[in-house]
């Protein structure tokens, strides 16, 4: 595809962007007619124009079988993880599938636009010249990701971007579209269709969905897609595979510097010591939703250790503390009040940010372990999953 072909791709992208923008700004009363009639018709017309402009390509795809198998394995992995999450966290009925009308409508409005959009992507990428390939891939990845952002209406509340909606509505479509374009460069059309359709439509067609947050869902899906892209690159790169093996053998048998071993062991020791609580700041995983809004379930919270004798002077109302309950179970809750006993020691009244009920017992200052300072969302999920498996096995 020469310069004229690049201009043709740009023109197609502009039309697709305008169509999606119209979809996002149309009033509700006219949106259904646009989605059911005008939008699919416009996609169909664009697909026909591309077919006329480019024609039918009878050249076989040399790596078609490999690309199809990589995507099928990716979908199988996705299915296994889907069932695993449903087993660990439970699953709820998907409201998108409670009525057959909703299913048909989603297939027509969303599914058809995805299929036609992937046809547009595949044809334009396959027939672009080497000179313009990167430009075409970037243009189509961004444009078709934008056209998959069906729920972008929910992205803003006032002037604030909702991050929980951003990951699901913007980040995930962008990753799916980018990997689909990557596969389209050397892979088969059916691989591109399967990848985009399954990952984009599961949340609209699956009868049940795991009880996890939208952010967790989008991050899990994008992680699987990234793994798919890595495997695809490895499988399609035959020429360098033997070279990599020879380099790995050379590294394996090359003499290693003793300092590298010492540094590795030292680093591992520091990491293990940190997670075992050997430093003034130690990590705690949030296992429940009692602090939702501040620390979500699965977050890794960094706690600053507070010696027993310093809790009186350092902790007051409004602090989020890590403490031991009367049952010697540790919690992270917020101090909402405190009082002094007959010995002059503080008794802290605590409550989870997501609860209206205060904790049953006050927390003596000697049971305060530390002050929660910062958190990393989702980094504690491996520990949450392990604990959930242990509980599930213990109940049998």
pLDDT tens digit sequence for 24-58: 787 877 888 888 888 889 999 999 998 888 876 65
Greater confidence (393 vs 345) lies with: 345
Nearest to 26, CA basis, from 18, 117, 368: 18
pLDDT tens digit sequence for 353-389: 999 999 999 999 999 999 999 888 888 888 877 777 6
Q: How far apart are CA 220 and CA 382, in angstroms?
A: 12
Position 49 in a domain: yes
Same domain, 194 and 95: yes
Same domain, 13 and 148: yes
DSSP state of 170: I
Amino acid 51: pLDDT: 87
Position 305 in a domain: yes
Position 182 in a domain: yes
Greater confidence (122 vs 96) lies with: 122
Greater confidence (308 vs 305) lies with: 305
Confidence band for 161, pLDDT divided at 50, 70 and 90: very low
Same domain, 204 and 88: yes
> Is the pLDDT assigned to residue 6 strictly greater than 50?
yes
Confidence band for 157, pLDDT divided at 50, 70 and 90: very low
Same domain, 300 and 186: no
Q: Report the chain's terminal Cα–Cα distance, integer Å.
A: 63
Count of CB atoms within 10 A of residue 371's CB?
Answer: 20
Position 269 in a domain: no
Structure tokens at 12: 């197609």
Same domain, 177 and 229: yes
Same domain, 9 and 101: yes
DSSP state of 37: I
Can you tell me whether residue 333 is helix, strand or coil? strand
Position 51 in a domain: yes
Average per-residue pLDDT in the chain?
A: 83
Across the range 147-166, mean pLDDT stands at 61
Same domain, 202 and 57: yes
Same domain, 203 and 307: no
Same domain, 28 and 168: yes
Confidence band for 158, pLDDT divided at 50, 70 and 90: very low
pLDDT tens digit sequence for 320-361: 999 999 888 899 999 999 988 888 888 999 999 999 999 999
Amino acid 395: pLDDT: 52
DSSP string, 349-393: EEE-TT-SSPPSS-EEGGGEEEEEEEEETTTTHHHHHHHHHHHHH
Greater confidence (87 vs 330) lies with: 330
Continuous segment of H or E residues that includes residue 125 = helix 112-126
> Is the pLDDT assigned to residue 259 strictly greater than 70?
no
Nearest to 147, CA basis, from 13, 36, 38, 30: 13
Residue that is last in its domain, among 225, 243, 261: 243
> Is the pLDDT assigned to residue 392 strictly greater than 90?
no
Position 236 in a domain: yes
Residue that is last in its domain, among 243, 271, 291: 243
Domains held by the chain: number: 2
Residue that is last in its domain, among 219, 243, 267: 243
Nearest to 370, CA basis, from 341, 333, 345, 326: 333
Nearest to 198, CA basis, from 84, 121, 118, 86: 118
Position 267 in a domain: no
> Is the pLDDT assigned to residue 151 strictly greater than 80?
no
Say if CB 214 and CB 167 are below 8 A apart: yes
Continuous segment of H or E residues that includes residue 322 = strand 320-324
Say if CB 19 and CB 150 are below 8 A apart: no
Same domain, 336 and 232: no
Structure tokens at 81: 């993880």
Structure tokens at 141: 């990845």
CATH number (domain holding residue 320)? 2.10.109.10
Q: How far apart are CA 176 and CA 155, in angstroms?
A: 19
Position 239 in a domain: yes
Amino acid 58: pLDDT: 59
Structure tokens at 70: 């990589």
Same domain, 86 and 172: yes
String of b and e for 212-241 (b: at least 16 CB within 10 Å)?
bbbbbbbbbbbebbeebbebbeeebeeeee
pLDDT tens digit sequence for 190-243: 999 999 999 989 888 888 888 887 788 888 899 999 999 998 888 876 555 555
Owning domain of residue 117: 3-243
Amino acid 250: pLDDT: 54
Same domain, 224 and 290: no
Amino acid 364: pLDDT: 92
Across the range 94-110, mean pLDDT stands at 85
Strands 320-324 and 300-305: unpaired
Residues of the chain above pLDDT 70, percent? 85
> Is the pLDDT assigned to residue 280 strictly greater than 50?
yes
Whether the predicted model's global pTM rises above the 0.85 cut: no
């Amino acid at each position: 595809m020469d310069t004229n072909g690049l201009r043709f791709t740009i023109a197609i992208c502009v039309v697709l962007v305008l169509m999606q923008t119209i979809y996002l700004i149309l009033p509700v009363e006219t949106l259904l007619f646009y989605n059911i009639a005008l939008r699919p018709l416009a996609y169909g017309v664009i697909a026909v124009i591309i077919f006329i402009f480019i024609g039918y390509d009878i050249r076989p795809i040399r790596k078609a079988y490999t690309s199809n198998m990589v995507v099928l394995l990716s979908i199988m992995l996705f299915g296994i993880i889907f069932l695993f999450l449903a087993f660990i966290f439970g699953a709820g009925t998907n409201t998108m599938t409670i009525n057959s009308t909703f299913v048909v409508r989603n297939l027509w409005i969303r599914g058809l636009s995805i299929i036609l959009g992937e046809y547009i992507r595949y044809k334009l990428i396959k027939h672009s010249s080497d000179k313009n390939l990167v430009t075409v891939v970037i243009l189509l990845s961004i444009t078709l990701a934008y056209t998959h952002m069906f729920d972008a209406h929910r992205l803003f509340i006032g002037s604030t971007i909702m991050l929980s909606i951003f990951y699901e509505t913007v980040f995930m479509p962008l990753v799916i579209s980018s990997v689909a374009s990557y596969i389209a460069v050397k892979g088969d059309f059916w691989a591109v269709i399967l990848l985009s359709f399954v990952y984009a439509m599961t949340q609209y067609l699956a009868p049940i969905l795991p009880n996890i947050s939208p952010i967790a869902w989008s991050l899990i899906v994008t992680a699987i897609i990234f793994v798919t892209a890595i495997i695809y690159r490895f499988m399609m790169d035959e020429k360098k595979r033997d070279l990599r093996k020879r380099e790995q053998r050379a590294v394996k048998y090359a003499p290693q510097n003793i300092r590298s071993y010492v540094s590795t062991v030292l680093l591992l020791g520091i990491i293990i010591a940190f997670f075992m609580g050997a430093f003034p700041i130690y990590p705690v995983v949030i296992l429940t939703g009692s602090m939702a809004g501040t620390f979500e379930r699965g977050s890794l919270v960094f706690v600053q250790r507070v010696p027993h004798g310093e809790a009186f002077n350092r902790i007051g109302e409004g602090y989020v503390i890590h403490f031991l309950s009367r049952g010697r179970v540790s919690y992270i809750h917020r101090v909402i009040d405190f009082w002094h006993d007959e010995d002059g020691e503080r008794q802290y009244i605590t409550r989870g940010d997501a609860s209206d009920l205060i904790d049953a017992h006050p927390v003596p200052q000697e049971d305060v372990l530390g002050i929660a300072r910062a958190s990393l969302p989702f980094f504690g999920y491996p520990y949450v999953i392990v604990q959930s498996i242990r509980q599930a096995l213990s109940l049998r």
